Structure 1
């Protein structure tokens, strides 16, 4: 699991549709068939809740945000947070995301080799800062680097604590870095929340929505706001950066597809800012992102816990049983997906239905606990990639496959790409 998480997970279906593995010292049931995963995620019999090894470790710094809170708290939280992701706010968010992508694209130079993961993390953070914490945007690059370093420490530590929880109790450097990063990020968010409370001004960002109250006078406490804010920060940076990286990686290895995507963008928006209204028009780019999410989903695994004795795949699961669901595993089963290792946007040529051609897609989860920011994330991905690819071709330094790094997100290992400016249309 630590050395090669993708290969380990891909091997599990050979043993059955429900396979017991060990995460640390805890027996965990890996769900290896999409139908079983849907049963757990849709949770029609109320037998499963958030929890298990991954969410136990995430809860150490995410608290009780939307991602980690138990079902009993979820409905109220989602109702209070939902206005931040209302369609009416998407255009403004998209404008900020496209502007940040354009700034990065303008800073690039032909022949330059970029550390793709680091650059996409920086860009994703800048987008999140501008859409969530408008006041942070003026603090400059040094502040952004500190925040990014704290986020990266927490994401990496979450995975380590999931697979080796005993290490979290030892006085070792990785735990000291985790504690320091948690303190710094929590203090930063708490300070900003207090300032927003005092100012009573709508900054047009996500945090302004979180500190407001609904028409019944109900609102989130400061602690709840911190938990939501850090949840969106961690999830937004990590998933967006990883998906941008993997999509650029696959495009770098397919010059023909890359040229077709660039031509589509140039045809629809040959110049000027790319906006929210353009997103539905980029059909080929959207299919490219969908295939990237299939073959390398950033949120590559999550866990649940049985809150009642239940049966799954003919096996009795006792109360407290930990469940592991991996979109990577489910979306890459060779017996369910034809040639799963091949990056093929043609799988999505006719429709984006999640069951198209029998492929069950879970990159944003499913059911009542499906990611609240899925549309926000996809919009940002489309706008960012369209802005970059209209001007730049990213080429691989080598055609050797790039492996995945074991972390809280499924990230590429040592992905470096060379920039080539495209000719004029």
Structure 2
């Protein structure tokens, strides 16, 4: 991979990792060994872009683990929840919460989603320029609060919006730094990260404390965590908090971003917005969408899938192999870090014609059946794929239906700037004009 003779591609990886990895695939192929940084302090990883390689790295028996530095840093800041834990602890917690995320269980959440989106619909009723990302992530956070915790999470919106970008940047900076200062040193970055972590932990403690004070049980996520035991021993307060935090953060950030990107795309492509609106009117009339309506809204689903192709919520997925491997004829030594990238694979010209173009027709049943099954993997893959994918699709579809039914959308910015960290999000406000429909 190109770069300066002394530092390699470290500057372009930090400035724009999405473009850097796209360029690496274009210039060097589907397996690229990346070495960046000054001599003696270099970081190295293998980036793999072919769908076969992505599937192999993420599959159950490939020998790849979340042992590398970015995952270690994430555990230090965000705790050892379902996304970050491994081995027996991960399996135990996954089995514990799995019943909440089956398609049958998720279908029961439709009424709660519709109730929450109604508040956003009413708040935009006068027509205005709104920040889509701010409003939609707040909306999804409220849905997550009611569905998973039986709680109003209005007081969580501010600390999450303020602290998550700080935590994300800190994790990435330390996860890919050749030298890391001890966390106990009072550097500005350490102090900012410690404050963000403390505020996020305090937010989770308030959620848990309200539930305990109310004396309510229940079959939602928090009820299961508080009632759970391992061999008769209840989960520790730290274990409960780690799970609450990871579901608050991952559950709202990804779906909020997906909705934001989808509405921004529709605003820039009004012909597709009209097709979604016509489908919604034909199938639903004036009634709210229900979970059983989703199969009857194929074009709406195609739009969401194409949005997730262009803007996958998690643009990179990293693992480490302890045993070594061979991928695409390239030897991967033991102890190597390997990156897969939905962002790059979703633009691979072998599988996507005109990959930068927004074209929902890529996701007709016939097109999907003819394409490599792992060319699209916005929810990851293998046993560690997103447990909430059915909930995310239900939320995104119901919310999109409610919003396009009531509004037209027009962009006020020439282009959408991106921030590629732990997740993919807009780099700033997404100012969009919402116009009430007659």
What is the CA-CA distance between 1:107 and the residue it aligns to?
Answer: 0.5
C-alpha contact 1:23 1:53 (8 A) present in aligned 2: no
- The CA distance in 1 between the partners of 2:73 and 2:141, in whole Å, is 22
Could you list the runs of 5+ residues in structure 2 that have no partner in the other structure? 1-12
Contact 2:267-2:410 within 8 A present in 1 as well: yes
Matched, 1:32 2:49: yes
In structure 2, the residue corresponding to 1:339 is in which secondary structure?
coil
Shift of 1:343: 0.7
For 1:372-383, what aligned pairs fall within 5 Å after superposition?
Answer: 372-383=387-398
Q: CA 1:156 to 1:394, structure 2 compared with 1: closer, same or farther past 3 Å?
A: farther
Where does the alignment leave 5 or more consecutive residues of structure 1 unmatched? none
2:302 to 266, 276, 287: 287
Q: Is the 8 A contact 2:160 2:249 kept in 1?
A: no
Residue 168 of structure 2 corresponds to residue 155 of structure 1: yes
1:288-314 Cα shifts (integer Å, max 9, x gaps): 011111111011112101121332233
> SS of the counterpart of 2:303?
helix
Q: 1:135 to 1:126 in 2, by over 3 A?
A: closer
Does 2:37 align with 1:21? Answer: no
Within 5 Å, give how 1:16-415 maps onto structure 2. Answer: 16-22=29-35, 25-45=42-62, 47-137=63-153, 140=154, 143-164=156-177, 166=179, 169=182, 171-193=186-208, 196=211, 201-203=216-218, 205-213=220-228, 220-350=235-365, 353=368, 356=371, 360-398=375-413, 400-414=414-428, 415=430
Does the CA-based 8 Å contact 2:48-2:341 persist in structure 1? Answer: yes
Whole-angstrom CA distance in 2 between matches of 1:43 and 1:323: 16
Q: Residues 106-153 of structure 1: CA distance to partner in whole angstroms, max 9, x if unpaired?
A: 11145411122222221122222222232344xx4x553234322343
In the alignment, the residues of structure 1 paired with residue 148 and residue 367 of structure 2 have an alpha-carbon distance, to the nearest angstrom, of 29
TM value normalised by structure 1: 0.89
Tell me by how many angstroms 1:411 deviates: 1.6
2:24 pairs, out of 12, 15, 18, with 12
Structure 1 residues 214 and 416: CA distance shift in structure 2, 3 A: same
**1:160-210 superposed Cα distances (whole Å, 9 cap, x missing partner):** 333447466564434322211211222332354355457652345321122
Paired with 2:158 and 2:399, the residues of 1 have a C-alpha distance of 20
How big is the shift at 1:277? Answer: 2.5
- Give, in whole Å, the separation in 2 of the partners of 1:274 and 1:218: 42
| Closer/same/farther in 2, CA of residues 279 and 211 from structure 1, 3 Å limit | farther
Structure 1 position 355, deviation (Å): 6.5
- Structure-2 change in CA distance of 1:318 and 1:197 (3 Å): farther
